[in-house]
Structure 1
Amino acid sequence: MNEKFSKYLAKKRLAASDLVRNARKNKVCYAFLLPYAVLFITFYVLPMVTSIYFSFTNYNILEKPDFIGARNYLNLFLEDEVFTIAIKNTFLVAIITGPVGYIMAFIFAWLINELPKWVRTLVVFFFYAPSISGTAFVVFKQLFNDDANGWINRFLITHGFTNTPILFLTNPQNVMKVIVPVILWTSLGTGFLSFVAGLKGIDKAQYEAGYIDGIQNRWQELWFITLPNMKPMLLFGAVMSITTAFNVCDIPMQLAGYPSTDYCARTIVTHLFDYGFTRFEMGYASAIATVLFITMILCNKAIQALLNRVGH
């Protein structure tokens, strides 16, 4: 036992010496990376660690944090009924805008890859514009407005489909049916753009070699050549898709109001926003943020494990 432990310590010392030697050899490179490392630690790592600490306290910004152990987490999962609604809505959005949006973005990018350049540019603009345009909320708000001036309600009333306006944004039965498609469309942009760039970067000679080696159709071409070459873009798109899905906040607040009717459009981030910036219960908000962070990490790990099997 002592011999095994000694060998283990020797390996660790050797690894540490190799790390120091490598750092000295590439000290110029590390010097260039230092500013980013400082900013990353200051604005990402330290806030994350601080948030985890505050999640175990009763903290309202004005007074000194009072350590209360796991009480925030117990209240969050056992007593907070609105958080249960937020979890259900967030996972509903994540399931649809995550895997479905991710697959749709890749399929659309794959389908338009062979189109003429000007057509491809128009399609890319159509998909990417909603993700960067702040006016998208205004358009959808007017489109689904609950009164007779809403574009859909005006059309339905004018053509005799209904006599009274449909409450798209205040009826709990309709709200998520409106919000989820809007989130899905606005979330396609970044992943779609990365997929388009990745497809254009694949060497055409690989496809020619593949057909010589026995590739018989486009599906085999996709599985054995396209997907393995696009692993970095696939991973980037997956991370962006998960991040977008679990950080939904603005669209429900803009369309369904804050708070929405019976909290029907409440998401985890909206719940966090409520406790953190409306009620100033920062300890409880930090517990919500920690749960969200752990959930996103686990989902990212699952996606990475799945993508590592592509092409094998």
Structure 2
Amino acid sequence: MTKKVRKYNHWFLISPYLILFTIFIVLPVVISIYLSFTYFNAIEKPSWIGIQNYITLMTRDEIFMQKVLPNTIKYSLIVGVGGYLLSFTLAWLIAQLTPIPRTIFALIIYSPSLTAGITMTVVWRVLFNGDQQGYLNALLLKYGFIDKAIQWLQSPEYLMDIMIVVSLWSSMGIGFLAMLAGILNVDESLYEAAYIDGIRTRLQEVIYITIPAMKPQMLFGAVMSIVNTFTTAGIGVALSGSNPTPQYAGQLMVNHIEDYGFYRYEMGYAAALSVVLLLIIWFFSRVAWRLFGER
């Protein structure tokens, strides 16, 4: 093999990935950006309308500005940030156990994330069933806390809160395992040196030793949490049984995209929503990189 041929070996080896990445990631993104500047009803040829979809999004789509965006922000802050902090806290607590209990508890906490979100909601729909046979209603009625059954999953007052509970319950996924592995692989000599230098509490140990020593795992967990949170769509629809959800109480950005793209066939506007969602995910991913990325 000549030196010139060997020079391009790496391109040959990574070419399958580059081809698949281009077909399934790059091209769809480029097409979505193009369609966001068009009117496209999935039947006729797309017609160029410039930034009209974005103007409509910001000035005329009251559902997006008054319901979808606030819902997404609330859901993302609680499930994304809260779930991320909960993942690290549980990972740190489990890391203090001996190997056998550690494995058991890690499996128990991780197992809900293995179940598909739509499948998982079947269990919760039984718990929050709106008739007297629903487990929560039956319990509250039995002990006199309520005098009639509550429509938990059809009530705008409760739907978002139930979505958050279900999502937090199932949020201990691969990011949680990465954090647990990172904590367990921190060099013990760092802790010994830190105590010699004056660290006295476990909180100081976590802040000054554990987190800096596992920044790659923290970054991975943050990116996974951001992506999973902003792309969540099925839980609210599966719980309530409708899209849009009752009075848009559980409507998130992905639900809004599905509503316009697959129910109203306004593909151009749905593409504009998708581009905005992509930019939001990119922005928060950059924030995570600034916090935990290697410099």
TM-score using structure 2 length: 0.92
**Structure 2: distance between partners of 1:210 and 1:25:** 48
**Structure 2: distance between partners of 1:302 and 1:206:** 27
Q: Cα deviation per residue 1:53-77 (whole Å; 9 max; x = unaligned)? A: 0000011222111001111111112
Which residue does the alignment assign to 2:77? Answer: 95
2:121 to 134, 137, 148: 137
Tell me the percent identity. 41
The amino acid of 1:260's aligned partner reads T
**Structure 1: distance between partners of 2:22 and 2:193:** 46
The amino acid of 2:130's aligned partner reads D
Query: Contact 2:94–2:106 at 8 Å: present in 1 too?
Result: no
Say which is worse superposed, 236-245 or 76-85, in terms of deviation: 76-85
Query: Contact 2:219–2:293 at 8 Å: present in 1 too?
Result: no
Say which is worse superposed, 117-126 or 143-152, in terms of deviation: 117-126
Please report how far the alpha carbon of residue 224 of structure 1 lies from its aligned counterpart in structure 2 after TM superposition.
2.5
**Structure 2: distance between partners of 1:216 and 1:155:** 47
Structure 2: gaps spanning 5 or more residues: none
**Structure 1: distance between partners of 2:22 and 2:181:** 30
How does 1:161-200 map onto structure 2 within 5 Å? 161-200=145-184
Q: Cα deviation per residue 1:187-225 (whole Å; 9 max; x = unaligned)? A: 232221111111122222332333344433322322222
Rg larger for: 1
Q: Cα deviation per residue 1:169-198 (whole Å; 9 max; x = unaligned)? A: 111111112111211221232221111111
Which residue does the alignment assign to 1:111? Answer: 93
How does 1:1-312 map onto structure 2 within 5 Å? 27-84=8-65, 85-134=67-116, 135-258=119-242, 259-308=244-293
**Structure 2: distance between partners of 1:109 and 1:285:** 38
**Structure 2: distance between partners of 1:298 and 1:244:** 15
**Structure 1: distance between partners of 2:108 and 2:73:** 27
Please report how far the alpha carbon of residue 91 of structure 1 lies from its aligned counterpart in structure 2 after TM superposition.
0.7
SS at match of 1:172: coil
Q: CA RMSD in A?
A: 1.9
**Structure 1: distance between partners of 2:38 and 2:105:** 50
SS at match of 2:158: helix
**Structure 2: distance between partners of 1:198 and 1:26:** 36
SS at match of 1:169: coil
Please report how far the alpha carbon of residue 278 of structure 1 lies from its aligned counterpart in structure 2 after TM superposition.
1.6
**Structure 1: distance between partners of 2:161 and 2:201:** 38
Please report how far the alpha carbon of residue 159 of structure 1 lies from its aligned counterpart in structure 2 after TM superposition.
2.1
Query: Contact 1:127–1:192 at 8 Å: present in 2 too?
Result: no
The amino acid of 2:251's aligned partner reads R
The amino acid of 2:80's aligned partner reads G
Which residue does the alignment assign to 1:8? Answer: none
Structure 1: gaps spanning 5 or more residues: 1-22
Which residue does the alignment assign to 1:4? Answer: none
The amino acid of 1:239's aligned partner reads V
TM-score using structure 1 length: 0.87
Please report how far the alpha carbon of residue 26 of structure 1 lies from its aligned counterpart in structure 2 after TM superposition.
5.3
Please report how far the alpha carbon of residue 229 of structure 1 lies from its aligned counterpart in structure 2 after TM superposition.
1.6
**Structure 2: distance between partners of 1:190 and 1:169:** 29
**Structure 2: distance between partners of 1:252 and 1:265:** 5
Please report how far the alpha carbon of residue 253 of structure 1 lies from its aligned counterpart in structure 2 after TM superposition.
0.6
Please report how far the alpha carbon of residue 24 of structure 1 lies from its aligned counterpart in structure 2 after TM superposition.
7.7
**Structure 2: distance between partners of 1:227 and 1:28:** 38
